[in-house]
Chain A
Amino acid sequence: MHIHRTTEQIVADRQRYEEHQRIGLAFSPKTPATPSMRPAPDPEAGSLATLRSVPGGWYTTLRLAKGEVLRLSPQGPVSAVALAAWSANDTTERMNLPDTVKLQWTTELKKGRVVFSDMGRVMLSIVEDSSGAHDALTGGSTPATVAQYGDPNLRNTRDNMVLAAAKLGLDRRDLMPLLNLFAPVRVDAKGQFEWHGGMIGDGDWVELRAEMDLAVALSNCPHPLDPCAGDVPAPLEVTKFKAVPVPPDDLCRTATAEAQRGFENNAKAEG
């Protein structure tokens, strides 16, 4: 079976796509905002909801209500943070990185960008980010990637995520490709992955605003492409801030046509 489309239909669809592509790619190489200053500022009085420290190699789970902001601050070298996220109300709706990079015409997720679910809705907004050095393509460490270092005590992100999922009532079927924060992986002209270590440094931090009620899992292990991936990383400080009203001109909500339509889908689901 082959339902042939007319030349007119094809030409019209191509014109429409190329207009989306022109706007999307013209925006893509630009940084929509200057990076956040290092180190992160002290929390304002009364803004803090919770604070915890995750030891190097370990994981944690937490719930975020819509509007709450999650600050992640590695307290030293080789900490990379792998993140998984599910809708708290329906865990079959979960972070979808292929959609996240495709919809925004870029693999560089940084301040001003958003993270989409598989349902075309925005889960997280990257509201602060000092490095812009994150990886959506190559995943976290696994039993196989840490085996080469010969240290049986080294923990890995895959096992951490299976454990974290279990504590949220989920299992390995629920794990999705992971967002790796503070992991400067880039693709060269030949398609090879490169580690750009100079993009990250002491005092790096990100803040992610929940755009729906979420369950989140975090793993604090070195990224497998980090040349120092055999080292035990520093602790990770995890701070949750109370929700505050979001202004109409909020960067993440207005930066791109795609983000605007994503937030329109959020509003429809709430309505």
Chain B
Amino acid sequence: MALKTTQRQRAEILEQVCDIPAQKPWSGIVKKGQTIRIEDTLGQQAIDTIFYCADDYTERYSSQDTLRAQGSAYITTGSKVMSTEGRVMLSVTADTSGRHDTSAGCCSCESNTVRFGHDTLYQHACRENFILELGRYGMTKRDIVANINFFMNVPISANGAMTVDDGISSPGDHVEMRAEMDVLCVISNCPQINNPCNGFDPTPIRVVIEG
């Protein structure tokens, strides 16, 4: 009996390991009670992430509800990832990096022209990744909401000044979240090369879903 129990426990602790190439999107389901670990494999890589309620995609991540509910401007251990309907989607249970942005959104071809000049229009961007990945679920540009930027360092000063600074994550840094409902996780492994959010050199990342 003891052996059987061990085997069953081992079988229950399944790990799905997903390696996401530089600049590419990814999506997957995280069931209630499972843990998702997002790993910045080589360091200084922004990982743009949106969550949708798996049963009803019209309920989705809300950056403003998340920040207001916790009373502070960055995401880290203890943060509750909130939905547009005020429900907890995931709880951040571990964070080896320190803090993560959810106010600066994802890059797009169009916003790149405003930030960096019109010659950056034809560069790959997170919004392109999101549109393509969401299309697999019947969603469109309309469904892109303000996202979490894991491992992106965006300090906000008391005078309101806001800037994307050099990433503070080291190779292997990771954040872990326990799903409090079944969620669809959609990621863009950020391809930006015009600011330091990826060290000007986008790299592969890893996602591990456990439980």
Inter-chain contacts of A97 with B (CB < 8 A): 105, 146
- Let me know if A261 is at the binding interface, CB within 8 A: yes
For window 117-162 of B, CB contacts with A under 8 Å fall at 117-118, 127, 140-146, 154, 156-162
User: Which of chain A's residues 119-146 have a Cβ closer than 8 Å to chain B?
Assistant: 119-121, 136-140, 142-145
Question: Would you call B73 and A187 a contact (CB within 8 A)?
Answer: yes
Binary flags per residue of A103-123, CB closer than 8 Å to B gives 1, else 0: 101111000000010111100
Instruction: Tell me whether A224 is interfacial, beta carbon within 8 Å.
Output: yes
A52 within 8 A of B: no
- Stretch of A18-26, A34-42, A62-70, A204-212 that contacts chain B: A18-26
Q: Which residues of chain B are within 8 angstroms of A262 by Cβ–Cβ distance?
A: 114
| Contact code string B164-183 (vs A, CB < 8 Å = 1, else 0) | 10000000000000000000
Considering residues B24, B68, B117, B142, which has the most beta carbons from chain A within 10 angstroms of its beta carbon?
B68
A14 to B109, CA, bound (A): 19
| Contact among A101, A119, A143, A225 with B110 in the assembled complex (CB-CB below 8 Å) | A119
B108 interface residue per 8 A CB criterion: yes
Taking Cβ atoms with an 8 Å cutoff, the residues of B that contact A are 21-24, 42, 58, 62-65, 67-68, 71-74, 84, 86, 99, 103-106, 108-118, 127, 140-146, 154, 156-164, 193-196, 199-204
Residue contact A101 to B103, C-beta cutoff 8 Å? yes
How far apart are the CA atoms of A254 and B24 in the complex, in Å? 37
Q: Is the CB of A192 within 8 A of B72?
A: yes
Q: How long is the Cα–Cα vector from A20 to B113 in the complex, in angstroms? A: 12
Is B64 a contact of A191 with CB atoms below 8 Å?
no
Please give the number of chain A residues whose Cβ is less than 8 angstroms from any Cβ of chain B in the complex: 68
B144 touches A118 (CB 8 A): yes
Known: A1-B21, A92-B141. 8 other contacts (CB 8 A): A5-B200, A14-B196, A101-B162, A102-B104, A120-B109, A172-B58, A177-B146, A225-B68
Give Cα distance in the complex from A144 to B65, angstroms. Answer: 10
Contact assessment for B114 and A120 in the assembled complex, using a CB-CB cutoff below 8 Å: yes
Smallest CB separation, B198 vs chain A (Å): 10
**B67 and A176 contact, CB distance less than 8 A:** no
Which of A24, A121, A142, A175 is close to B163, meaning CB atoms less than 8 Å apart? A24
Residue among A5, A171, A225 facing the most chain B CB atoms (10 A cut-off):
A5
Give every chain B residue within 8 A of A102 (Cβ-Cβ).
Answer: 104-105, 111, 115, 154, 162, 164
The one of A2, A175, A264 in contact with B84, judged by C-beta atoms closer than 8 angstroms, is A175
Which of B111, B116, B127, B193 is A116 in contact with, Cβ under 8 Å?
B111
Residues of B within 8 A of A224 (CB): 68
Cβ-defined contact, A139 with B111, below 8 A: no
- Chain A residue contacts of B84, Cβ below 8 A: 158, 172, 175
Residues of A contacting B108 in the complex (Cβ-Cβ under 8 angstroms):
99, 118-120
Across the A-B interface, the 5 shortest Cβ-Cβ residue pairs: A98-B105, A139-B64, A120-B110, A108-B160, A1-B21
Q: Is the CB of B72 within 8 A of A106?
A: no
Residue of A nearest to B113 (CB): A120
A145, B64: Cα distance in complex, Å:
13
Asked whether A261 and B142 contact (CB < 8 A) given A102-B164, A106-B160, A191-B99, the answer is no
Residue numbers in B under 8 Å from A121 (CB-CB): 110
Cβ contact within 8 Å between A191 and B73: yes
B156 with A107: CB separation less than 8 A: yes
A1 contacts B103, CB within 8 Å? no
Residue contacts A-B, CB under 8 angstroms, 12 given: A1-B24, A2-B22, A17-B194, A25-B161, A91-B142, A96-B146, A98-B104, A102-B162, A120-B114, A137-B73, A138-B64, A172-B84
B200 pairs with A143, CB closer than 8 A: no
A3 at interface (Cβ–Cβ under 8 A)? yes
Please tell me if the beta carbons of B160 and A107 are within 8 angstroms of each other in the complex: yes
Instruction: For A172, give the chain B residue with the smallest CB separation.
Output: B58
